[in-house]
Each structure stands twice: as structure tokens, then as C-alpha cells.
Chains A and B, each alone.
Chain A
Amino acid sequence: MLSPDERREIDAELANYEFREAAGIEALKVVQRHRGWVTDEALADLEPVLGLSAAELDAVATFYDKIYRKPVGRHVIFVCSSISCWVMGYENVRDYLLDRLGILLGQTTADNRFTVLPTACLGACDLAPVMLVDDDLHCNLTPPEVDAILARYE
């Protein structure tokens, strides 16, 4: 069941669109904000609200890499692995980061603090290499800076 807060936020989104299906992405973001990730149950809850079937909602949810269909840690780190960041040597940053957290790409730390995922271009190629932690973009990264950044996220 959608919580009253979720329902209110989704209704506010619905008011912006002529067709309720159009609010699908925003509705997925709302439940993700409240529940941490998009559970099967969340999709079932959204079906009647959006007039979309579970299959259709899952198609949207799995298309976007920033909508999670699996549990993630408290903070999600997206390391850009696309071409500009690759040219600028993102692998060093990535390897350092994973090493510090003791996990592999796609995994979550045992204390549930961080999940690290790859992503293709964050639109900040001029500042490569970059990574996104929650909603914060961190640019021109070098391995030594990573520790300080991680320290800011509990």
C-alpha cells in the first residue's frame, strides 16, 4: 500500500500530466525515495494509480539505471565509466574506491553504507573523471581525494 505521503507526492506529479502514464518515472522516484528501492510490491501499488501493468512499470524501472530494483546501501556511488572519464583514467579512481570499500562494482558494503555502480556519462566530461554520490557530483577526481569524499557520507 502506498503511504499517505507517497500518495500525496504522486498525486502532485499526476497533476502535471495529461496522461497518468506520463507520471510513471516520477512515481517510481517517489517510492524509491521513501522505500530506498523499488520493490515488486511498490510496482503492484503503482499499477492502479498509473493505469500501467507490472510488466510496463518494470520496463520503465529497469530502463533507468538510477531507479533501483534491488536493495542499495544508504548512499549510492555512480562511477562514470564512459569515454571521457576513461581517457582521463577513471580506472584508478574506481579501483581505489572499491579497494577502500572492500567490494566489487555492483556490491554494497557490509555496513550497508555504500553501493557502487557504474554509469555511462554523467554529462560532465570536461571535468572528468567524475562520480556521483547520491545527488552530489564530484569532479576532477584523483584517488587521494576519494577518502575525504567518503568521509562526508555516513
Chain B
Amino acid sequence: MEEITLTIDGSEARGRRGDTILNVCERNGIDVPTLCHFPGLGDIGACRLCLVEIVGARGLTTACTTPASTGMVVKTNTPAINALRRATIELLFAERNHQCPYCEMSSDCELQKLGYRFGIDTVRYAAMNPKLNVDASSPYFVLDHDRCVLCRRCVRTCAEIAGISAIGFKDRGAKTLVAFDLDAQAADSSCEACGTCVQVCPTGALFDKRSAYKGHLADCARVATSCQQCSLGCATQGVSRGRTVLRVDGDFNGAPNYGLLCAKGRYEALRPAGTRYSAPLIRQNGELHEASWEAALDLVAAKLKEAKQEVGSKSVVGLATPWASNEMLYLMDWIFRAGFGVVFAVAGADEALNRAAAVQTVTGGSAAAEADFDAVRRADFVLLLGADPAKTHPVLAGLLRRRVNRGDARLAIVGAAGNALGRLACLYLAPRPGSEGVIVNGFLKSILAEGLAHSHLPPKLAGQLAPYTPEAVAAITGLAAGEIGLLARNLASARRPLVIYGGPYLASAELASSAVSLGLVAGGIDGRRVPALGLSLAPNGTAAAHLADGHGLYALANAAAVFAALGDGPDGQVVNSLRVTEFLAVMAAYPSPLSGRADVILPAPTWAERHGTFLAGDGNRRDVASLIPGPAGMPSEMETLAALGARLGAAASFADEYLAAKVELALALPGADPLRAAPVFVDYL
């Protein structure tokens, strides 16, 4: 990286080639006022607050848009410049309604801060007091044109970060207004309510409904954590005050989302899922009654022991889901399988299991793993194979839109019609339902036949390809033979292809294998990663797949006593598979159909109170921090499990050691298999 040297405000300042003057100032700790600039967004020089003087150049120039070069002599802080800045700020105050004491953003507002910084105690210009509307149609945020300074941060965010461009400017000059689509209400527009524009708005023009008027940032805690809503595990920051999470922000520096969130992670997660359990409950004569923790735990342990003794160890099941943290999964595994000697099962890990099996089959059991989410930011050709990320993993859809919009990648889709990213695809093939495997075999055969393969296939898979000529595949899939060859050729001749698979391709290990094979053959193994990525949904599927021995629901078929700790996992499948006659204990934060059938309910913390680690869908670690304390007296999930483990005859000290070792292993390199590395387990099925 070539270094450049400038003189700024009389001192030498170093920067890099390609820096703007503002970048160099930031690197050297020189504080130039800005308003429209936001790191990561393209600069447009709209607000004129970063004006600087380049000695020898005509007039003043905006530091945020002017490239810096060696030898420049720059002044950022002269009386003349500051007089202009001051006037600009006064004009902004005069242009709309900035009665700060009534504004949600007061004290956290960038315009207000500039006002203080430049000592503006009175505005010399008459207030224009335009009559402007407030758009409160969104369930999540408000757009108040009165506070808008027309910095375009929201517009650029929607285009450059979310890749949606639902929001734009209308008209010009002082009459300019932010507008959704063709001047629709936010709620009726193509806005997907990702809230990213709300997060970047410098003023009270776009603000969050939930956190509105509930405190200034100075009164709040901001804690880095990870979203637990899907397998992306987006980097977030929880903003909370006391025992309330006010809002969730995206972390602009955190993988895999780099600031972008979706409505699920930013807003929906904060909707309480009912009235939470506050004390342990025991069912007596059909009615639930409050009980002490001691009594409830004693009862659970006694019932589980009794069932083990009377019905047999295979009829006693500890049940978790891939919505639980590593710590919880491993501790349950230890308590039930290793310690108590009964069944530990994971429900809902099917997608993750199919993915793991696919990688195993295709790479012949090498330590290879699938691509990581950052591969989306490098790929130049992405094939969505049955995957519809806009529906399942909206942030990933955003990352894709961004790359395709910028011309950095091409997108092809193979799957059912109606994919929300269809508009961006250069090729969109919709094979007949049921021909998912056939079409991939067609691609594979075509790539191999044209000599474009970057890797061999395991002989068993390669041997099956003979019948899949383009014509045969065309006949079965209902597509044209030429389209199949065209897509295959484009995929395999890309420099960094990536196959993102989902939908039907996650539903069986065979189809997942064909998706991973396609990635392997089209792109080869890069380091230890195959350029294929399965979009399984559960946030901790990777860890669950390491632990789960087969598809957990079978274990329920003849279970007599079940202890279920599902984390935030859905319980529909579990309820349907449940045949329990003897005893059901559930650890849960909120009522659900499952807990409705429970004999004992142990209250659990919510996602916002939980802490621990997860393995995201690409095997990378995610740290989850507790944003708020739980209700007084509420133990963590781990404490409850440890207390139960002790009653089931498992030494607590061993639990700690075991857990530390296991989680350590789980968090080792992606692709490492913690189970294989530590063969402490008894076979139970």
C-alpha cells in the first residue's frame, strides 16, 4: 500500500493512496466536522460541513470527496471555514423543524452536536417551518421529515448496504423529501424493514418506535452480541436500559453482515413470545402449581430415575434443539448420555445433519468444510440452488444483491419460480419439482464433459453420471438442453464460483451431496473449504450436527420420560412426535404447545438474557452475550442443568471440566469434529 504524505493544519499527516482528505484526517486524529459522511457508504459531498482549504487551490473543497495526494497543504480549521460551517448548520436548523427538546434524538443527534460544537445559540435565519408529514406506518420505525437534513445516508444505505433501493429523494432543493418507492407510506412500500437506514440516520428523522423516548444513549448499555434467529448469526449490538432491551443495532465491523440486519433479527426478536414463566411449575391433578426450584428439580430427577429403572435407559430422553448454545448442548449431552446413561437427542437438526453428511460423502471424510459466509463477498458467480435467501436468510440476500448490483458478481438461480432475487439473475431455471437431483447431475456431467472440472468426484458419485446427458436431463426437468450447458459452463468457468443451496437440497443427504459435489467440481477446494454453502436455518446447527446421532425425533417414538430444553427452537415437530406417557419436563422461557403438556416446567432465560457460544452455519464461532439480567432468582440454563445433573448422579466439577474441553473443541477450526477428537461417549442406540 503506497503511502502519501500531506501537511494538514501545519503538521505532517500520512495516509494511503486512494484516501480522501477526510480519510487522512481520520487516520491522523484530526477531527473534521461531517454530517453526510458515514463510514462504508459512498461519499457524495452533500452537507458541505467538511469543507477544507487546499493551499493554492481555488475555493474550498469537501474533504470527504477529494482524493488526497502527496504534497497537499490542507487547512481544516480556519476562521473563514468555520464561519461557513456555522452558517450551513444554521441553515439546516432553519430549514425544517428542529425543536430539540421535543425530539427523540436529542442528545444523540449529530446535527445537535454540531450545533453545540459551533456554539450556535441562536439562528440568524428565519425558520421556514414547512408543513411536513410524519410517516408512522411502519410497525418498527417513524420517518419525520421535519428532522431530516437531506444527508442521503438512508438512501445510500438502502442502495449500497441493503441493496434494495426502496427509499429515494423526491423533488429538489429545500423541497426535497425522502420518499419510499413512488411516495408510498413505508408500510406499503418495497421497504423490507431491515432498519439499517434508521440506524444510520444522524438526526431524529428516522427513529425506532420501540426505543423512542426511552432514554439517551448515555443512559443505555451497549453490548456486542450475535443474533440467534438464523444460522447467519449476524453481529449485533444490544442497546438496553435496566432490564429492557431497547433495540438491536447491526455491527458495521462484524462478519458476516457488516451492519446489515433483517426485520427478524432487528425487530421481531424483541417481540415477547407470551407471558414468561417466572417460577417452576408442577402439575398436580391436571393443574399447574408454583413450586420451589428444589422441589421441581427433585421431582424431575426422581421421575427420570424411576423411568430409567422401570422402563429402561433407552426410554429416557434428554432433548435439545440446534437453537441452544454450545454450552447447553454439550452439557445436556454429558448429563444425559455420558453421565446418566440415557438417550440424548437433538430435534430439528436434520438440515445441519444432511449438510454434514454431504461434506463427508463428497470430500471423502477429509477435514474439509463448506464455504464461510464471507465467500459471498468474494464470489464472482453465485448459483442459488433451491435456496431463497430473501425468505430464509434476508441478510445473505442483501449481501448478494449488493454484489450483483455493483457488477461484482453474477447470479444464477435454479429452483421454484418466485425467488425474490429473480430480478437480479442472469439465468433462472425452474426444473420440474422432483428433478432436483437430476438437474445437478446434468450440470456435473456437462462440466466434466467439457473439461472444466476443478476437482474429481468420489468414484461412487462420478460413476452415477453416465445417463445424464443434456438431452436426457432436459427431458426430465422440462428445461432446454442448452440452458443446462450454459449454466454449467458459466459456473465452472467463473474465477470464484459459489453454490448456495437450500430448500429441497437440504431435505436429504443425497440432494445436499449433489449440491456440494457441484461446488467441488465447479470450484475445487480452496484451502479447506468447498465453495458450497447450505442455508440451514437453526442458529447452532453445526454444533448440533456434531452431537446429534441420527435424527432426534425417532428417539421420542418410544420415550417414556422426556426432559426437553429446546432453547428458542420451534416445538411443532417435537409435539407431533411425542408419545410420552410417564413424564415430561420442559425448560422454557415462554408457554408453548409443548410446555402445555408438561408435568414440570422449569423457567429459562430469554435469548436476551442468555450467554454462550454458537457455531454459525459456516462453522464460525459466534459469541452471545447477555444483554440484560434475568428476573431476580432466575438461574441460567447452565445452572439449572448443572443442578439437575448433580441430582442425576453426575459430579458437578466434572461437568465444568468436560464442558470447557468440549466447547473449546467445538470452537476449534471449522470442520474439526469435536466428537471424534474425544471419544468419551457410549453408544446408545
Contact = CB atoms under 8 A, between A and B. Distances in A.
A55 B171 contact: no
* Listed residue (A43, A48, A55, A58) with the most chain B CB atoms within 10 angstroms of its CB: A55
A62 B190 contact: no
A55 B180 CA distance: 6
Interface in A8-62: 40, 43, 48, 51-56, 58-59, 62
Contacts of B159: 53, 56
A58 B423 CA distance: 19
A62 B423 CA distance: 25
A55 B182 CA distance: 6
Nearest to A52: B165
Contacts of A55: 165-168, 179-182, 190
B168 A59 contact: yes
Contact of B166 (A40, A52, A53, A59): A53
Does more than half of chain A's interface fall in helix, strand or loop, or is it mixed?
helix
B172 A62 contact: yes
A52 to B, nearest CB: 7
Interface string B233-264: 00000000000000000000000000000000
A51 B190 CA distance: 15
Given A63-B171, A63-B172, A53 B165 contact: yes
Interface string B173-191: 0000001111100000010
Nearest to B165: A53
Contacts of A51: 405
A31 to B, nearest CB: 15
B583 interface: no
B170 A59 contact: yes
Interface residues of A, number: 13
B164 interface: yes
Nearest to A47: B423
Contact of A53 (B168, B169, B172): B168
A56 B160 CA distance: 13
* Listed residue (B167, B170, B405) with the most chain A CB atoms within 10 angstroms of its CB: B170
Contacts of A52: 165
Contact of A59 (B164, B169, B405, B423): B169
B172 A58 contact: no
Interface in A53-96: 53-56, 58-59, 62-63
Nearest to A53: B165
B483 to A, nearest CB: 20
Given A48-B423, A53-B190, A63-B171, A58 B182 contact: yes
Contacts of B167: 55
Contacts of A54: 181-182, 190
A56 B405 CA distance: 14
Contact of B170 (A43, A48, A53, A62): A62
B664 to A, nearest CB: 47
Contacts of B170: 58-59, 62
B182 A40 contact: yes
Interface string B407-446: 0000000000000000100000000000000000000000
B183 A58 contact: yes
Nearest to A65: B172
* Listed residue (A43, A51, A52, A54) with the most chain B CB atoms within 10 angstroms of its CB: A54
A102 B171 CA distance: 27
Nearest to A59: B168
Interface string B522-565: 00000000000000000000000000000000000000000000
A53 B155 CA distance: 12
Contacts of B180: 55
Given A55-B180, A55-B181, A62 B171 contact: yes
B117 to A, nearest CB: 31
B168 A56 contact: yes
A56 B168 CA distance: 5
Interface string B654-670: 00000000000000000
A53 B617 CA distance: 32
A53 B164 contact: yes
A51 B401 CA distance: 12
Contacts of B172: 62-63
B164 A58 contact: no
A66 to B, nearest CB: 13
A63 B182 CA distance: 13
Which 3 pairs from chain A and chain B are nearest by CB? A55-B168, A53-B165, A59-B168
27 contacts: A43-B182, A48-B423, A51-B405, A53-B159, A53-B166, A53-B181, A54-B181, A54-B182, A55-B165, A55-B167, A55-B168, A55-B179, A55-B180, A56-B159, A56-B165, A58-B168, A58-B170, A58-B179, A58-B182, A59-B155, A59-B170, A59-B179, A62-B169, A62-B170, A62-B171, A63-B169, A63-B172
Given A55-B165, A59-B155, 8 more contacts: A43-B182, A51-B405, A55-B181, A56-B165, A58-B168, A58-B182, A59-B168, A62-B169
